[in-house]
Structure 1
Amino acid sequence: MNSQLRGVVNGIISGVSFGMIPLFSIPVIAAGMDNVSILVYRFLFGSAAMLAILLLRKTNMRVSLSELLRIVLLAIFYITTALATLECYKYLSSGIATALVYTDPIWCALIGLAFLGDKFSIKLTSSILLASLGVMMMTGVFSGDGTFSMIGLLLGLASGLAYGIYLILVPRLKVKHIASLKLTFYVFFTGMWLLIAYSLMTNGGVEEVPDSSCWLDLALLGLIPTAISNICVTVSLKLIDSTIVAILGAFEPLTAMVVGVVILGEPLGFIGVVGGMLILVAVAILTINPQKLKFIRK
């Protein structure tokens, strides 16, 4: 397998594995665990797996105090994304919620337009319009059957916005020189302790895991859509262009939709499917650069 094909395969694995978050988190939510506790265990298992890989690679784990403070800021936005996504599952199907998180490139473009001096373009305008229409179709604005949830919509969009800010901050906080997997480990590890502190202040501490089934789900949540997803995306980014990796991220909402409908029994009508496709097209328009797709056409 040549390096470009390996990069594509790792990008697909990353997207598919990340799209499995609903498969392992929704049963634990249904068992009564609160979202903060779920994320503590997810980050615990995920950061432990990533640390094992980093130690096997003999990675220097030192970071400066200033870098640690920047990592704390990144962790705040990451856990905001994760919490909003889990909360969104209470109001919308997991496939729709994950598709809303996938709007982060649209939010990045809007933030660039509002604060970073970017200018309007046909590509940007068409992407925003398509994504807006897709979001409305997926969340039931046009259905008239009472399934629309404004709270769910706002939570999903907040999740995408928080992740968009996270992506914008990484190159601007002078942490880009830190190896991707090492940075991701510290974001998860720091986020875990922030969540523990929040849980101690609000609920008296992290909840106990109710049964062995939940332990298994939490372990898989930390390993598959957390550790494996981030390890694979790190490998993919080293082998192929980041634009291609972003496009392969479309496997994330597609996987979540399949999991939601086939395994979790969530409804997804024709309008919702069309809406999801519009969001994927909007993100593709915004991220695809034809010059960077030459290796696919060879």
Structure 2
Amino acid sequence: MSDAPAPQGSWTDIPLVGILAVAVSTVFFGMVPYFARSLTEAGIAPPAIAFFRYLFPAIAFLPFLKLRGEQGRASLWGYFSGLIVGLGWVGYVKALSLMPVSAAGVLYMTYPLFTLLIGWLVFSDRPGLRSAAGGGMILLAAALAARTGGSGGSVGLAAIMLALAAPLGFGISINVLARKLHVLPPVSRMGIFAIGSSSGLVPLILTYPAEAVLPASAAQWSLALALGTFSALIPQLLYTVFVPKIGGAKAAALGSIELPTMFAVGWFAFGEPVGLPEALAGALVLTAILITPTRRPLPSVTASLAAPAPRKRSWFRGWR
């Protein structure tokens, strides 16, 4: 009988490492409002901010694109879905300058409701009871967020519409992913979405003067690089590696960290205390996320692109 030690798996197979990696990724996603609003306050146009966010994943995942046959057709769907997401994200960036981060964060997290509605109305995918209950909670949370202004007043209708542009885009992309992109490997899905999101913004960027597109100082360039690296590229890579290893239930629970992180950013970075309406809205969103059944993951739009091909549609499949 040999005394040689049993073969050890990779360090990436350690469950605690996976849990910590996904938790860190979720916190990074929740930091988006800090980078986006800081760049807006520095005079950078929202389309340029969105472009910087999606540019780095587009470059990193470019070698993994699949452009032939059935995978090529799926990639075309992924490209246009990414384009829609990129345009919607511009509205979210603009909304961050018009309302508290907490309100924008709650509205941002309404994408599961849009996913349900689009799946039901366009694809006849009728939601189950728990999904419908979760959707109702999301709707109530959005109503509470819409009544939350910087000084206790209500948010303007235009700002609300801008904030909802991103979750609407996510809702479309999640449905496309569930039905059209299952033939693509995860890194290919990420690559084509990011390319669609970034390249689709170029025509909008060209309508702005150069000083509204290119950062003017080292500090601004640092913010733009941090936005693309820490709110997109790094967390997406971590999700790709670790979400399949820890499973959907843990990933869903860890994904709920994102909204409290947004609240913390608003409070500590921009001096926006979280009041009772915001806290209640956040609790409703988190409850909706946790009670909604998922099959093969995943808690967030980005997370699902890192998952195996979905067998059943659910709320949390798409790209963030």
TM-score above 0.5: yes
- 1:72/1:81 Cα in 2 relative to 1: closer, same or farther (>3 Å)? same
Matched, 1:207 2:213: yes
Matched, 1:140 2:144: no
Letter in 1 for 2:42: A
Match of 1:21 in 2: 32
Letter in 1 for 2:263: M
Q: Is the 8 Å Cα contact of residues 36 and 83 (structure 1) preserved in structure 2?
A: yes
- 1:157/1:29 Cα in 2 relative to 1: closer, same or farther (>3 Å)? same
Matched, 1:231 2:237: yes
- Structure number with the bigger relative contact order (C-alpha 8 A, sep ≥ 6) is 1
| 1:98 aligns with one of 95, 105, 120 | 105
User: What is the 5 A alignment of 1:1-298?
Assistant: 3-48=14-59, 50-51=60-61, 60-64=64-68, 65-119=72-126, 121-140=128-147, 145-173=152-180, 175-200=181-206, 202-203=207-208, 207-287=213-293
What is the SS of the residue equivalent to 1:113?
helix
Task: Give, in angstroms, the shift of residue 229 of structure 1.
Answer: 1.5
Task: Give, in angstroms, the shift of residue 94 of structure 1.
Answer: 1.9
- 1:207/1:119 Cα in 2 relative to 1: closer, same or farther (>3 Å)? closer
- Distance in 1 (CA, whole Å) between partners of 2:19 and 2:231 is 17
- Distance in 1 (CA, whole Å) between partners of 2:150 and 2:55 is 40
Q: Is the 8 Å Cα contact of residues 135 and 275 (structure 1) preserved in structure 2?
A: yes
Letter in 2 for 1:30: E
Task: Give, in angstroms, the shift of residue 220 of structure 1.
Answer: 0.4
Q: Is the 8 Å Cα contact of residues 15 and 246 (structure 2) preserved in structure 1?
A: yes
Match of 2:306 in 1: none
What is the SS of the residue equivalent to 2:267?
helix
- Sequence identity (%): 21
Q: Is the 8 Å Cα contact of residues 72 and 187 (structure 1) preserved in structure 2?
A: yes
Alignment: residue pair count: 281
- Distance in 1 (CA, whole Å) between partners of 2:163 and 2:136 is 18
Letter in 2 for 1:41: F
Letter in 2 for 1:124: S
Task: Give, in angstroms, the shift of residue 273 of structure 1.
Answer: 0.9
Letter in 2 for 1:185: G
Task: Give, in angstroms, the shift of residue 32 of structure 1.
Answer: 0.8
Match of 1:295 in 2: none
- Per the normalisation by structure 2, the TM-score is 0.78
Richer in helix (by share) = 1
- Distance in 2 (CA, whole Å) between partners of 1:91 and 1:32 is 14
- Per the normalisation by structure 1, the TM-score is 0.83
Task: Give, in angstroms, the shift of residue 67 of structure 1.
Answer: 4.2
- 1:60/1:286 Cα in 2 relative to 1: closer, same or farther (>3 Å)? closer
- Distance in 1 (CA, whole Å) between partners of 2:39 and 2:235 is 20
Q: Is the 8 Å Cα contact of residues 7 and 238 (structure 1) preserved in structure 2?
A: no
What is the SS of the residue equivalent to 1:268?
coil
- Distance in 1 (CA, whole Å) between partners of 2:141 and 2:196 is 35
RMSD: 2.7
Letter in 1 for 2:193: V
- 1:40/1:241 Cα in 2 relative to 1: closer, same or farther (>3 Å)? same
